Amino acid sequence: MNTKRSLNLGNIPVRIVLIFLASVFVFPVIFALNTSFKTLNEFYTSIWALPEHLLFTNYIEAFVTGQIGEYFLNSFFIAVVTLASIQFLALSAAYALSRLKIPGSNYFILGLFLINILPKESIIIPLYITLSKAGIMRIPFIATMLGYIGWSLPGSIIILKNFFETIPAELIEAARIDGSGEVSTMVRIVLPLMKSAMATVMVFNFIFVWGELMWARITTLLTSKGIPLTVGLINFQDQYGTDWPRLTAAVCMVVIPLFLSFIFLQKYFVKGLTSGSVKG
């Protein structure tokens, strides 16, 4: 009994720290959401007060007049194509590395680890030079998505490979004995068991793709099309200056999809983090 009480008391400082950290991250979002429903006069009168009336026109004007709607659709298109490409390529590579006898696969995985720990900033310049010489930088969306796919693949392959190795080999061997090919085995037998792993990878990659700024800014310097939300917010701020209610409405359009994606995929995400830590 005393042991249980001591363990519970020992968890109190950890919980206090976690609550504090959660407040630090959540409070700016709540503040932005509250400000986005105010008028400019209400904001300067009292920045902490609740809005007298919910002013949805800030969202409408930001979405239409400030072109946030166009930027939002661009980001949505980039995220969908990028995540689909990453899932397909990473699943195929992870399955091959974990279940097929590929010579030198250990060296390939080591290379993935080395690439994954490299700072992305160190790859931007050679990647920019390569895509510029190939004439891809002027094509909307393509350069942005290629960079995101390349950066996300090493980590995604490593995570999915570890999950593939938790699946009993007997299931795959039984499918092979029944005459099932590798692609059919992966689609019909393995993937239904990989929902948590795929959700984990998808959440990590979506957060990166949706909120990345540096590469998105570089790849849209030579074109006015395909500008994502993060770059669009900079243009929006230059256009509206210190109109904080409209600016925070635009910020909420960037942040809210991240929260919604995590809420809907939370069950699979948490399950993926816990189940992937133990093999067998």
Residue 36 lies in a domain: no
Residue 6 lies in a domain: no
Residue 268 lies in a domain: yes
Per-residue pLDDT of the chain (280 residues; tens, 9 = 90+): 455 555 566 678 888 888 888 888 888 888 888 999 998 888 888 888 888 888 888 888 888 877 888 999 999 999 999 999 999 999 989 988 887 778 888 888 888 888 888 888 888 988 999 999 988 988 889 999 999 999 999 999 998 988 888 887 777 778 777 777 777 877 787 888 888 888 889 888 998 999 899 999 999 988 888 899 989 888 887 776 678 888 888 888 888 888 787 777 766 666 655 554 444 4
Residue 25 lies in a domain: no
The number of folded domains in the chain is 1
Domain limits at 265? Answer: 67-275
* pLDDT given at position 187: 78
Written as six digits, the tokens of 44 are 């300067």
* pLDDT given at position 280: 41
Q: What is the 3-state secondary structure (H, E, C) of 20-65?
A: HHHHHHHHHHHHHHHHCCCCHHHHHHCCCCCCCCCCCHHHHHHHHC
Residue 9 lies in a domain: no
d(C-alpha 91, C-alpha 113), whole Å: 17
pTM for the whole thing? 0.82
Closest CA to 150 of 128, 165, 168: 128
| Structural contact between residues 187 and 198, judged by C-beta atoms closer than 8 angstroms | no
* pLDDT given at position 271: 62
Residue 266 lies in a domain: yes
| Structural contact between residues 94 and 191, judged by C-beta atoms closer than 8 angstroms | no
Residue 52 lies in a domain: no
d(C-alpha 202, C-alpha 265), whole Å: 9
Residue 178 lies in a domain: yes
Listing DSSP states for the chain in one string gives -HHHHHHHHHHHHHHHHHHHHHHHHHHHHHHHHHHTTS-HHHHHH-SSSPPSS--THHHHHHHHTT-HHHHHHHHHHHHHHHHHHHHHHHHHHHHHHHHS--TTHHHHHHHHHHHHHS-THHHHHHHHHHHHHTT-TTSTTHHHHHHHHHHHHHHHHHHHHHHHTTS-HHHHHHHHHTT--HHHHIIIIIGGG-HHHHHHHHHHHHHHHHH--HHHHHHTSS-SSS--HHHHHHHHHHHHTT-HHHHHHHHHHHHHHHHHHHHHHHHHHHHHHHHTTS--
What is the CATH number for 131? 1.10.3720.10
| Structural contact between residues 182 and 188, judged by C-beta atoms closer than 8 angstroms | no
